[in-house]
Amino acid sequence: MALGYDGKLYILAFDHRGSFQKKMFGIEGDPTPEDTEKISDAKRVIFEGMLEAVSRGVEANATGVLVDEQFGSDIPARAEENGLKLAMPVEKSGQNEFDFEYGADFGAHIENFDLDFSKVLVRYNPDDPDTEMNQRQLGRLKELADWLHEHDRKFLFELLVPATDEQLASVDGDSDRYDAELRPELMRRAIEDIQNAGVEVDVWKIEGVDEREDAEMLAEQ
């Protein structure tokens, strides 16, 4: 399978887990079975909204859902029935360091749901003082990327570049200045690090930038 994806792709992302249960339902820690059903029902409502959009003319074969297994395990079959693309997360929820939600069994879960895209959310700053953490992340990402491409599956990579304390201090603690002045080049360097580690990505989901030249720089990388 060729690397990349050149078709239209409109994804409704509702794979939030820990943050969703806490912010929307006030549930801390591990949810009870009753809590899980309540949260799962909310995910079904979100999915129904997607189906309504398709019924009103949204292009189904270019549209997809990004949903989690924990609270949305019944949605993938319905997505397939309706001709929607399916993406699901591979990462553990709410962690600063990327790791697999299901450990070494990640491949079995991907194959069980027959995903169109396997998604990761990764926080990676090339200047992070914890260089060992960055290397651990790159190693796991390489393992995942190799497995996906060996099995002819697409890799969707969501990159976040959080500021280090030193970087934030250099812009007087102004997060808007960090986003405008520092983050674009840090994003480019992060992508470069990931590529140099042999991690081949089909679709990049990156934070927005304000300037056209920054967008072009990132696209060229």
Any idea where the domains of the chain sit in the sequence?
Answer: 1-89, 121-202+209-221
- Outline where DSSP puts E strands in the chain: 10-14, 63-67, 85-89, 117-123, 154-160, 203-206
Of the candidates 10, 49, 45, the residue with the CA atom closest to the CA atom of residue 24: 45
Residue 215 phi, psi (nearest 5): -60, -40
pLDDT reading at 50 higher than 90: yes
Q: What percent of the chain clears pLDDT 90, i.e. is strictly above it?
A: 83
pLDDT reading at 180 higher than 90: yes
pLDDT band at 143 (very low <50, low <70, confident <90, very high): very high
pLDDT reading at 27 higher than 80: yes
Integer Cα distance of 36 and 28 in angstroms? 12
For the entire predicted model, the pTM comes to 0.92
If phi > 0 it is left, if psi is from -120 to 50 it is alpha, else beta; for residue 173 that is left
Tens digit of each residue's pLDDT (9 = 90 or more) over 55-96: 999 988 899 999 999 999 999 999 999 999 999 999 998 889
Where would I find the H helices in 89-130? 106-113
Of the candidates 2, 6, 17, the residue with the CA atom closest to the CA atom of residue 89: 17
- Outline where DSSP puts E strands in 4-84: 10-14, 63-67
pLDDT band at 104 (very low <50, low <70, confident <90, very high): confident
For 151, the token pair is 């099995």
**Can you give the pLDDT at residue 131?**
96
pLDDT reading at 181 higher than 90: yes
What are the CA-CA distances from residue 62 to residues 11, 17, 57 (Å)?
9, 25, 12
For 212, the token pair is 């056209």
Query: Given 3-state DSSP classes, what are the helix, strand and coil percentages for the chain, each rounded to the nearest 5?
Result: 50, 15, 35
Q: Which residues pair with 154 in a beta bridge?
A: 117
Integer Cα distance of 35 and 31 in angstroms? 5
